[in-house]
A and B are shown apart, each in its own frame.
Chain A
Amino acid sequence: MVKVTVDMDVCQNHGQCVFAAPDVFRLDEDGHLAYVASPDAALRDDVEDAADVCPLQAIRVEG
């Protein structure tokens, strides 16, 4: 398992992570971010890509 944390004080709902890892990140109707905190290890590369493309660098990946 991978551990994902998004600093929601920093996140500005750009949604770039949604394109990089749609199975982990999602924007609701109002454009606010929701995410899976412990995605499957198979999604590690996607999650790394998502962390890279976050303009605010708000995504942390561990494990």
Chain B
Amino acid sequence: MTYHNPPTTPRKSATFDDYTLSEIRRAAVTGIYDIRGAGAKRKLPHFDDLLFLGASISRYPLEGYRERCATDVVLGTRYAKKPIELKIPITIAGMSFGSLSAQAKEALGRGATLAGTSTTTGDGGMTQEERGHSEKLVYQYLPSRYGMNPDDLRRADAIEIVVGQGAKPGGGGMLLGQKISDRVAEMRTLPKGIDQRSACRHPDWTGPDDLEIKILEIREITDWEKPIYVKVGGARPYYDVALAVKAGADVVVVDGMQGGTAATQEVFIENVGQPTLACIRPAVQALQDLDMHRKVQLIVSGGIRSGADVAKALALGADAVSIGTAALVAIGDNDPMWEEEYRKLNTTAGAYDDWHEGRDPAGITTQDPELAARLDPIRAGRRLANYLKVMTLEAQTIARACGKNHLHNLEPEDLCALTIEAAAMARVPLAGTNWIPGQTPL
């Protein structure tokens, strides 16, 4: 009698999965680590792990289509003579001209203005397209100081001192030479075609005490009119927020690790920082411990996608949220209509992240004039406005169900968590229990 070994099913390693194998091969062949845009793609504890507790008997809901639920927010009430008043608590995050096309920047400005909110400049400085179409514009003061100009500082409605961002706390950036057009080169005072290294730290201050004096300088230059935001990457949110408040910030922006970037190392994006969900409560705690909650406003960003995310961030104590990647998607980034061209770039709609290569079929993350011309800034701006309004309506719907007549009245008690991890990070009870890991006894 002959025995044959029965066939077995090939088994791939969970550790060495297909993506990991392809990255090893790519590194071995090219000698370059992967540089890409966007934020962390790995699965992280997120707002999806929280649920709202709609009102029944113990709480009293508001009528969905009849009773008002306000959405306005004022940012910069601590020192600024002219705080920013927004209709909705969703702002557009800083994204640079250079990384984005002029058409994309215009679309963001148009969309934000239609929805009653602000947009933000980026590493490349302020463009006329953006200033001209943004009713409220936040001017970023970045370590690279590319395009930094006191005239633009004065033309801004607020100034955001960027210390770090969620995709790369402690890291700088690299805009590869292929995206450096004549205009980008001129704005950044560098020759065309060479890599633009964005510094990881400000060149003229080295710590929180220096930051305090830097803020004084900017306030003096702008006659104390503009709110001063300080943006930090979500790594040590309690201490960074506390120090930003001490330094005199009017507004603190905490960007979790799902926050996007124009281009940096994949290894950095996926392995440095903390999830957005984990950053909010420590940031709020810092403000509360300093008796500054609601006096210094907190903006949270990093992977915000829907009205539910907005409502959850606000319920955990944020005053507003900021969106970057979602705004790009709203104006057409990674749209399946360009699938054929994404395929030519060895990717697919929804996965395209080589923004630094400047070949974006959607005309958004590019400086190629033919590609950029594909984006109609008026139509794209309308799409962004629609998206922002839908997010706001969604957040209002949830807030009313929780009995709130203002989005800012949402609170942690309106939430429970689906996982122990999310319960611990958000400091809300695990669903079906009164247990908040680390806060209450099991």
- A and B pair up: no
Q: What is B's interface to A at a CB cutoff of 8 Å? A: none
Q: What is A's interface to B at a CB cutoff of 8 Å? A: none
